[in-house]
Structure 1
Amino acid sequence: MIEVPLPDSRAREEALARLDALVKPLGALGRLEELAAWLSAAHGTVPPRPLDDVRVVVFAGDHGVSATSAYPREVTAAMVRVFLSGRSGVNVLARQVGAQVRVVDIAVDDDLADVPAPVRAHKIRRGSGAIDVEDALAPGEASRAFEVGRSLADEEISSGADLLIPGDMGIGNTAVAAALVGAVLGLPAEDVVGTGTGVDEAGRARKVEVVARALARPRGSGPFELVTALGSACAAATAGFLVEGAVRGVPVLLDGVFSGAAALVAREIAPDAVRWWLAGHRSTEPSQAFALKALGLTPILDLGLRLGEGSGAVQAVPTLRAAQAVISDMGLLADLA
């Protein structure tokens, strides 16, 4: 079990008292007050520090169940190049809040020989196995990918990150996420499978069949055995990223369904890590709702998004900054003339 520090409960109580003393009716700023107290506990100070340096790390990889998607597998490699060009959805949205975006090839089914070497430096394998008929990963690859995720979080934090956001890119990743959530929470495929990239009802029915076969396959009981059988190298790396953020005491803003599934796995490895995570937005995928309920997390935004990449979480950054500003800059009732 990985040891994780706990947020500062004293700072949280001090923050709640200060929020009640601001020039407003009690509780009038609703969720902003909850977030301000949460940030104060995470930072161990009232008011919490500004969130000036936001880092998005997009974990890219292919999945053997990509046939359940509305898009071909080759899109993953193409999208890595789009991230590098700065023209993806998350690139555009991140620029609006001053966040940095980094893409890492964890398991893209392409050599990507034309992209910068740092993007490929952490590659675990070329694609993951088709989880309905075989394990996603070879023995040992899940733990290797987990440590890669930890090292990436460590790099970002050591260079100044105030807030981490995990992004994902990989055709077939919503099927993998559904399988992981179904396995961890004991839910049937029908309940956790959504439309992903936008498949029709017939496509969703095929996807349900694939996930159901995956869930019926034998597997080990531990978190790494689970990711080996039903996950992917990207899921393992994302879980490591989430855990290391908590170990280093840096808030992590979850994105959509894929990071929600990885968070369930990460909680199995480091139960207290969930205290350092917030849910950026509500995905349209049903498995995310189950995952967030199990984690005890309420999404900050609900915009009907299903892009992934970290794009939904990035849009929640201004809300977190507003929460920090409220507790930092508002006046006190006691100071009224």
Structure 2
Amino acid sequence: MDLRQLRYFAAIYEQGGLSRAAEQCSVAVSALSHHLSNLEADYRTELFTRESRGMFPTAAGERLYVHAKSILKAVAAAEDDLRHARTEIAGEVSVVMAQSAIKAVGIDLFNRVVDEFPNLRLAIAESLSGSTLSYLMSNDVDIALAYNPPGDPSLRSIPLLEEEMVLVGTTPIIGNTDEPITFSEMVKLPLMLPRHGIVPKALIDDARLSKRLEGRARFQIDSLAALGPLLASGSACALTTKLAMQHYIAEGHVRSRRVIEPELWRMLFMCEKTERPSTFATEKVRQLIMEVVHSAIVRGRWEAKFLGALPQPTLNW
């Protein structure tokens, strides 16, 4: 297998057929077919099924595509990194974070890149809190801002902040008081959780409490955009953060109560895959994320405790 074969294979996978892939790669269909046949012969397995509607990856093809994306992305990053190593920060860096994090730091991060690094290409993807790591593990992004990630040796995780989880809902559901509510009292209420299976751990890093929370939840939802209106309608309540529901709290549609016995906090980490070497561009974006998160906390836009480490200023004697 060589890089050209991998590029051709990835193009066929993404385009769903030889003709469109050949057009994308600017090669003849026969050449593309020849390379694919050689690749399948080398591994003694079919990578695609051929149908009248197009070409569809087999299980082996799906697995190879995951590796191909990672390899091709690393090669492209290395080329960008070395090409500009002595002159400027350039290349492409992709980041995934929850919608609430984008609200707090997304604009600042974009503006810093625009103002300071005109040749750096930044892509930001939005996800539910519990699914950000899936983007990283499937090699769709370079950096993931993930809550309570697992202790996985394939991950390089840097703590950014710790924020308190609160109960959010309308007065008829959570009560006409600002007094804290106990965890045991909270799970008796009509709770709504995001539907993704690993979300309870993204909410609280305690397996026992996460399992109890998931078991008692009456409702599930996959849309963070719909969560606010549903809470405001009085249909249910949710364990979330003030940042995520700040608009609805500020407008008086819902209220929040602290949770105690125990208090519930979650930690946000900046995660990367250990197998992927850092580039000058990813190092710079990593530093920028740390700085904009710190700034958002200091300015009161994000109610949280900063856990990161900012670079020390250079002393000029």
| TM-score interval (norm. to shorter) | under 0.3
RCO higher in 1 or 2 (8 Å CA, sep ≥ 6)? 1
Q: What TM-score results when the alignment is normalised by the length of structure 1? A: 0.23
